[in-house]
Structure 1
Amino acid sequence: MAGLKRTLEGEIEIRVAGGDVFHEIFQDTPHHFANIHPEFVHGCDLHDGAFGKPGSKICWDYTLDGKKQSAKQVLEVVDEENKVIRFKMLEGNLMEDYNDFVITYQVIPKGEEVCLVTWTFVYEKKHLGIPEPSSLMDELLKLATIVDDHHHSKDK
Protein backbone atom coordinates (compact mmCIF):
# COMPACT_ATOMS: atom_id res chain seq x y z
CA MET A 1 0.00 0.00 0.00
CA ALA A 2 1.43 3.37 -1.00
CA GLY A 3 2.06 6.14 1.49
CA LEU A 4 3.04 3.99 4.45
CA LYS A 5 6.78 4.63 4.19
CA ARG A 6 7.84 7.69 6.14
CA THR A 7 10.83 9.64 7.38
CA LEU A 8 10.86 11.66 10.60
CA GLU A 9 13.77 13.93 11.46
CA GLY A 10 14.67 15.86 14.57
CA GLU A 11 17.65 17.84 15.79
CA ILE A 12 18.77 19.59 18.92
CA GLU A 13 21.72 21.80 19.78
CA ILE A 14 24.02 20.81 22.61
CA ARG A 15 27.52 21.83 23.61
CA VAL A 16 30.37 20.38 21.54
CA ALA A 17 31.90 18.40 24.40
CA GLY A 18 28.46 17.04 25.24
CA GLY A 19 28.08 15.87 21.64
CA ASP A 20 31.38 14.02 21.82
CA VAL A 21 30.35 12.37 25.09
CA PHE A 22 26.92 11.49 23.70
CA HIS A 23 28.49 9.76 20.69
CA GLU A 24 31.08 7.94 22.82
CA ILE A 25 28.40 6.63 25.19
CA PHE A 26 26.10 5.56 22.36
CA GLN A 27 28.92 3.80 20.56
CA ASP A 28 30.87 2.16 23.38
CA THR A 29 28.83 2.10 26.60
CA PRO A 30 25.10 2.58 25.84
CA HIS A 31 24.18 0.79 29.08
CA HIS A 32 25.27 4.01 30.85
CA PHE A 33 22.13 5.74 29.56
CA ALA A 34 20.21 3.87 32.27
CA ASN A 35 22.26 5.76 34.89
CA ILE A 36 22.01 9.12 33.13
CA HIS A 37 18.29 9.06 32.20
CA PRO A 38 16.66 6.18 34.16
CA GLU A 39 13.15 7.57 33.62
CA PHE A 40 13.53 6.64 29.92
CA VAL A 41 16.21 3.92 29.64
CA HIS A 42 16.09 1.04 32.13
CA GLY A 43 18.63 -1.24 30.54
CA CYS A 44 20.76 -1.99 27.52
CA ASP A 45 22.16 -5.46 26.99
CA LEU A 46 24.50 -6.76 24.34
CA HIS A 47 23.15 -9.99 22.83
CA ASP A 48 25.67 -10.58 20.06
CA GLY A 49 28.92 -8.97 18.94
CA ALA A 50 30.53 -6.00 20.69
CA PHE A 51 29.27 -2.52 21.52
CA GLY A 52 30.19 -0.11 18.73
CA LYS A 53 30.72 -2.82 16.11
CA PRO A 54 28.48 -3.31 13.05
CA GLY A 55 26.42 -6.50 13.23
CA SER A 56 26.08 -6.33 17.01
CA LYS A 57 22.65 -6.97 18.48
CA ILE A 58 21.50 -4.82 21.38
CA CYS A 59 18.36 -5.08 23.51
CA TRP A 60 16.87 -2.03 25.21
CA ASP A 61 14.36 -1.74 28.03
CA TYR A 62 12.72 1.68 28.26
CA THR A 63 9.54 3.56 29.09
CA LEU A 64 7.68 5.43 26.38
CA ASP A 65 4.31 7.14 26.83
CA GLY A 66 4.10 5.68 30.34
CA LYS A 67 4.49 2.07 29.15
CA LYS A 68 7.46 -0.21 29.70
CA GLN A 69 8.78 -1.41 26.35
CA SER A 70 11.64 -3.34 24.82
CA ALA A 71 13.49 -3.34 21.54
CA LYS A 72 16.10 -5.49 19.87
CA GLN A 73 18.27 -3.76 17.27
CA VAL A 74 21.17 -4.62 15.01
CA LEU A 75 23.89 -2.04 14.65
CA GLU A 76 24.22 -1.51 10.89
CA VAL A 77 26.62 1.44 10.58
CA VAL A 78 29.26 2.99 12.80
CA ASP A 79 31.05 5.95 11.25
CA GLU A 80 33.44 7.27 13.89
CA GLU A 81 34.81 10.08 11.73
CA ASN A 82 31.35 11.57 11.07
CA LYS A 83 29.87 10.42 14.40
CA VAL A 84 27.04 8.46 12.80
CA ILE A 85 25.35 5.32 14.11
CA ARG A 86 22.48 3.49 12.42
CA PHE A 87 20.34 0.79 14.03
CA LYS A 88 17.73 -1.42 12.40
CA MET A 89 14.93 -2.59 14.66
CA LEU A 90 14.53 -6.35 14.72
CA GLU A 91 11.81 -6.93 17.31
CA GLY A 92 10.06 -5.35 20.26
CA ASN A 93 7.02 -3.22 21.02
CA LEU A 94 7.73 -0.75 18.23
CA MET A 95 7.62 -3.52 15.64
CA GLU A 96 3.99 -4.23 16.52
CA ASP A 97 3.09 -1.11 14.49
CA TYR A 98 5.84 -0.96 11.87
CA ASN A 99 7.08 -3.36 9.19
CA ASP A 100 10.49 -1.72 9.11
CA PHE A 101 12.15 0.84 11.37
CA VAL A 102 15.68 2.25 11.07
CA ILE A 103 17.10 4.84 13.47
CA THR A 104 20.14 6.96 12.59
CA TYR A 105 21.78 9.63 14.64
CA GLN A 106 24.64 11.97 13.92
CA VAL A 107 26.58 14.51 15.95
CA ILE A 108 27.49 17.48 13.74
CA PRO A 109 29.85 20.26 14.94
CA LYS A 110 28.41 23.76 14.38
CA GLY A 111 31.26 25.96 15.53
CA GLU A 112 33.55 25.87 18.53
CA GLU A 113 30.89 25.59 21.22
CA VAL A 114 27.77 24.04 19.71
CA CYS A 115 26.91 20.88 17.83
CA LEU A 116 23.72 19.32 16.55
CA VAL A 117 22.48 15.90 17.47
CA THR A 118 20.24 14.80 14.60
CA TRP A 119 17.94 11.79 14.60
CA THR A 120 16.35 10.28 11.51
CA PHE A 121 13.71 7.56 11.57
CA VAL A 122 12.93 5.75 8.32
CA TYR A 123 9.97 3.45 8.81
CA GLU A 124 7.02 1.73 7.23
CA LYS A 125 3.69 1.68 9.06
CA LYS A 126 1.64 -1.52 9.04
CA HIS A 127 -1.49 0.54 8.29
CA LEU A 128 -2.57 4.18 7.99
CA GLY A 129 -4.00 4.32 11.52
CA ILE A 130 -0.56 3.97 13.13
CA PRO A 131 0.60 7.25 14.71
CA GLU A 132 3.89 8.88 13.82
CA PRO A 133 6.67 7.92 16.29
CA SER A 134 6.98 11.51 17.54
CA SER A 135 7.08 10.62 21.25
CA LEU A 136 10.14 8.40 20.62
CA MET A 137 11.76 11.27 18.72
CA ASP A 138 11.01 13.64 21.60
CA GLU A 139 12.58 11.25 24.13
CA LEU A 140 15.73 10.74 22.06
CA LEU A 141 16.16 14.51 21.63
CA LYS A 142 15.66 14.91 25.37
CA LEU A 143 18.23 12.16 26.02
CA ALA A 144 20.87 14.20 24.14
CA THR A 145 20.23 17.27 26.33
CA ILE A 146 20.27 15.18 29.51
CA VAL A 147 23.63 13.64 28.54
CA ASP A 148 24.93 17.14 27.78
CA ASP A 149 23.69 18.51 31.13
CA HIS A 150 25.00 15.44 32.99
CA HIS A 151 28.44 15.78 31.41
CA HIS A 152 28.69 19.50 32.15
CA SER A 153 27.45 19.13 35.74
CA LYS A 154 30.45 16.81 36.35
CA ASP A 155 32.77 19.63 35.26
CA LYS A 156 31.58 21.94 38.03
Structure 2
Amino acid sequence: MAGLKRKLEGEIEIRVAGGDAFHELFQEKPHDIANIHPEFVQGCDLHHGSFGKPGSKICWNYTLDGKVQKGKQVLDVVDEKNKIIKFRMLEGDLMEDYNTFVITYQVIPKGEELSLVTWTFEYEKKHPGVPEPSSLMDELLKLAKEIDDHHHRQDK
Protein backbone atom coordinates (compact mmCIF):
# COMPACT_ATOMS: atom_id res chain seq x y z
CA MET A 1 0.00 0.00 0.00
CA ALA A 2 1.35 3.42 -0.90
CA GLY A 3 1.95 5.84 1.94
CA LEU A 4 0.14 9.10 2.53
CA LYS A 5 2.11 12.08 1.22
CA ARG A 6 1.82 15.32 3.13
CA LYS A 7 3.34 18.78 3.42
CA LEU A 8 3.46 20.94 6.54
CA GLU A 9 4.73 24.52 6.63
CA GLY A 10 5.47 26.95 9.44
CA GLU A 11 7.06 30.38 9.66
CA ILE A 12 8.33 32.80 12.26
CA GLU A 13 9.74 36.31 12.12
CA ILE A 14 13.20 36.88 13.55
CA ARG A 15 15.06 40.10 14.29
CA VAL A 16 18.28 39.04 12.61
CA ALA A 17 18.49 41.30 9.56
CA GLY A 18 19.15 39.29 6.42
CA GLY A 19 19.16 36.07 8.44
CA ASP A 20 22.86 35.52 7.77
CA ALA A 21 23.71 34.44 11.33
CA PHE A 22 20.78 32.01 11.40
CA HIS A 23 21.69 30.47 8.04
CA GLU A 24 25.38 30.27 8.95
CA LEU A 25 24.55 28.43 12.17
CA PHE A 26 22.60 25.68 10.37
CA GLN A 27 25.03 25.48 7.48
CA GLU A 28 28.42 25.60 9.18
CA LYS A 29 27.91 25.18 12.94
CA PRO A 30 24.85 23.01 13.63
CA HIS A 31 26.68 21.47 16.59
CA ASP A 32 26.36 24.88 18.34
CA ILE A 33 22.56 24.58 18.35
CA ALA A 34 22.78 22.32 21.43
CA ASN A 35 24.30 25.28 23.33
CA ILE A 36 21.47 27.60 22.30
CA HIS A 37 18.44 25.33 22.88
CA PRO A 38 19.61 22.25 24.86
CA GLU A 39 16.05 21.41 25.93
CA PHE A 40 15.43 20.37 22.32
CA VAL A 41 18.82 19.55 20.77
CA GLN A 42 21.39 17.71 22.86
CA GLY A 43 23.94 17.04 20.14
CA CYS A 44 24.85 17.05 16.48
CA ASP A 45 27.65 14.93 15.03
CA LEU A 46 29.10 14.89 11.55
CA HIS A 47 29.21 11.31 10.20
CA HIS A 48 30.36 11.97 6.64
CA GLY A 49 31.56 14.93 4.60
CA SER A 50 31.80 18.51 5.87
CA PHE A 51 29.24 20.70 7.62
CA GLY A 52 27.38 22.80 5.08
CA LYS A 53 28.28 20.65 2.07
CA PRO A 54 25.71 18.66 0.07
CA GLY A 55 26.05 14.93 0.69
CA SER A 56 27.16 15.42 4.29
CA LYS A 57 25.55 13.13 6.85
CA ILE A 58 24.65 14.47 10.28
CA CYS A 59 23.29 12.64 13.32
CA TRP A 60 21.09 14.59 15.75
CA ASN A 61 20.28 13.79 19.37
CA TYR A 62 17.15 15.61 20.48
CA THR A 63 14.14 15.44 22.78
CA LEU A 64 10.65 15.57 21.33
CA ASP A 65 7.47 15.18 23.34
CA GLY A 66 9.55 14.21 26.37
CA LYS A 67 11.31 11.35 24.56
CA VAL A 68 15.02 11.23 23.74
CA GLN A 69 15.37 10.61 20.01
CA LYS A 70 17.97 10.27 17.28
CA GLY A 71 17.94 11.05 13.61
CA LYS A 72 20.46 10.73 10.81
CA GLN A 73 20.04 12.96 7.79
CA VAL A 74 21.82 13.86 4.60
CA LEU A 75 22.22 17.45 3.47
CA ASP A 76 20.71 17.50 -0.02
CA VAL A 77 20.61 21.21 -0.91
CA VAL A 78 22.54 24.28 0.20
CA ASP A 79 21.48 27.44 -1.61
CA GLU A 80 23.65 30.28 -0.34
CA LYS A 81 21.96 32.99 -2.40
CA ASN A 82 18.42 32.18 -1.25
CA LYS A 83 19.45 30.92 2.23
CA ILE A 84 17.86 27.50 1.78
CA ILE A 85 18.95 24.21 3.30
CA LYS A 86 17.21 20.89 2.65
CA PHE A 87 17.82 17.80 4.78
CA ARG A 88 16.52 14.30 4.00
CA MET A 89 16.07 11.92 6.91
CA LEU A 90 17.87 8.60 6.44
CA GLU A 91 17.20 6.78 9.70
CA GLY A 92 16.12 7.33 13.27
CA ASP A 93 12.98 7.66 15.37
CA LEU A 94 11.07 9.73 12.78
CA MET A 95 11.53 7.02 10.20
CA GLU A 96 9.53 4.56 12.32
CA ASP A 97 6.36 6.39 11.21
CA TYR A 98 7.35 7.84 7.84
CA ASN A 99 8.61 6.32 4.58
CA THR A 100 10.21 9.64 3.64
CA PHE A 101 10.80 12.85 5.55
CA VAL A 102 12.44 15.98 4.09
CA ILE A 103 13.00 19.16 6.11
CA THR A 104 13.64 22.43 4.29
CA TYR A 105 14.20 25.82 5.80
CA GLN A 106 14.60 29.21 4.17
CA VAL A 107 15.51 32.58 5.61
CA ILE A 108 13.83 35.44 3.75
CA PRO A 109 14.99 39.00 4.50
CA LYS A 110 12.11 41.40 5.24
CA GLY A 111 13.49 44.90 5.30
CA GLU A 112 16.42 46.20 7.30
CA GLU A 113 15.74 44.60 10.67
CA LEU A 114 13.63 41.47 10.16
CA SER A 115 13.74 38.13 8.41
CA LEU A 116 11.23 35.35 8.01
CA VAL A 117 12.24 31.75 8.74
CA THR A 118 10.09 29.17 6.98
CA TRP A 119 10.19 25.45 7.72
CA THR A 120 8.67 22.94 5.31
CA PHE A 121 8.21 19.23 5.93
CA GLU A 122 7.48 16.94 3.00
CA TYR A 123 6.76 13.44 4.21
CA GLU A 124 5.01 10.20 3.51
CA LYS A 125 3.21 8.49 6.37
CA LYS A 126 3.49 4.72 6.66
CA HIS A 127 -0.21 4.41 7.55
CA PRO A 128 -3.23 6.69 8.26
CA GLY A 129 -2.81 6.40 12.05
CA VAL A 130 0.52 8.23 12.04
CA PRO A 131 0.12 11.68 13.63
CA GLU A 132 1.08 14.86 11.81
CA PRO A 133 4.58 16.03 12.83
CA SER A 134 3.20 19.22 14.38
CA SER A 135 5.18 18.90 17.62
CA LEU A 136 8.43 18.78 15.59
CA MET A 137 7.30 21.88 13.67
CA ASP A 138 6.50 23.63 16.96
CA GLU A 139 9.98 22.79 18.29
CA LEU A 140 11.72 24.06 15.14
CA LEU A 141 9.77 27.32 15.27
CA LYS A 142 10.70 27.65 18.94
CA LEU A 143 14.31 26.85 18.03
CA ALA A 144 14.29 29.69 15.46
CA LYS A 145 13.07 32.07 18.18
CA GLU A 146 15.74 30.82 20.62
CA ILE A 147 18.46 31.32 18.00
CA ASP A 148 17.13 34.81 17.29
CA ASP A 149 17.06 35.67 21.00
CA HIS A 150 20.58 34.26 21.43
CA HIS A 151 21.99 36.38 18.60
CA HIS A 152 20.07 39.44 19.77
CA ARG A 153 21.58 39.12 23.27
CA GLN A 154 25.08 38.74 21.81
CA ASP A 155 24.70 41.89 19.74
CA LYS A 156 24.04 44.04 22.83
Whether these two folds match at TM > 0.5 is yes
Q: Is the 1:18–1:151 Cα contact (8 Å) retained in structure 2?
A: no
Letter in 2 for 1:15: R
SS in 2 for 1:26: helix
Letter in 2 for 1:153: R
Work out the CA distance in 2 between the residues paired with 1:100 and 1:5: 9
Q: Is the 2:59–2:71 Cα contact (8 Å) retained in structure 1?
A: yes
Work out the CA distance in 2 between the residues paired with 1:54 and 1:154: 30
Q: Is the 2:3–2:127 Cα contact (8 Å) retained in structure 1?
A: no
Q: Does 1:39 align with 2:39?
A: yes
Letter in 1 for 2:23: H
Deviations 1:55-80 (A, max 9, x none): 00000000000000000000000001
Query: Corresponding residue for 2:101?
Result: 101
Query: Corresponding residue for 1:153?
Result: 153
Work out the CA distance in 2 between the residues paired with 1:113 and 1:154: 16
Query: Corresponding residue for 2:25?
Result: 25
> What TM-score, normalized by structure 2, do the two folds share?
0.97
Q: Is the 1:18–1:148 Cα contact (8 Å) retained in structure 2?
A: no
Kindly report which structure 2 residues correspond to 1:4-153, keeping only aligned pairs within 5 A, or say none. Answer: 4-17=4-17, 19-153=19-153
Please state how far the C-alpha of 1:16 moved relative to its aligned partner: 3.0
Please state how far the C-alpha of 1:27 moved relative to its aligned partner: 0.1
Work out the CA distance in 1 between the residues paired with 2:17 and 2:91: 33
Letter in 1 for 2:56: S
Work out the CA distance in 1 between the residues paired with 2:143 and 2:97: 23
Q: Is the 2:17–2:109 Cα contact (8 Å) retained in structure 1?
A: no
> What TM-score, normalized by structure 1, do the two folds share?
0.97
Stretches of 4+ moved more than 4 A in 1?
none
Q: Is the 1:86–1:105 Cα contact (8 Å) retained in structure 2?
A: yes
SS in 2 for 1:27: helix
Query: 5+ residue gaps in structure 2?
Result: none
Work out the CA distance in 1 between the residues paired with 2:52 and 2:140: 18
Q: Give the paired residue count.
A: 156
Q: Which moved more, 1:34-43 or 1:9-18?
A: 9-18
Q: Which moved more, 1:14-23 or 1:133-142?
A: 14-23
Deviations 1:4-26 (A, max 9, x none): 10000000000133822111000
Work out the CA distance in 2 between the residues paired with 1:105 and 1:8: 12
Q: Is the 2:17–2:111 Cα contact (8 Å) retained in structure 1?
A: no
Work out the CA distance in 2 between the residues paired with 1:2 and 1:68: 29
Q: Is the 2:16–2:22 Cα contact (8 Å) retained in structure 1?
A: no
Identity %: 80
Q: Is the 1:23–1:107 Cα contact (8 Å) retained in structure 2?
A: yes
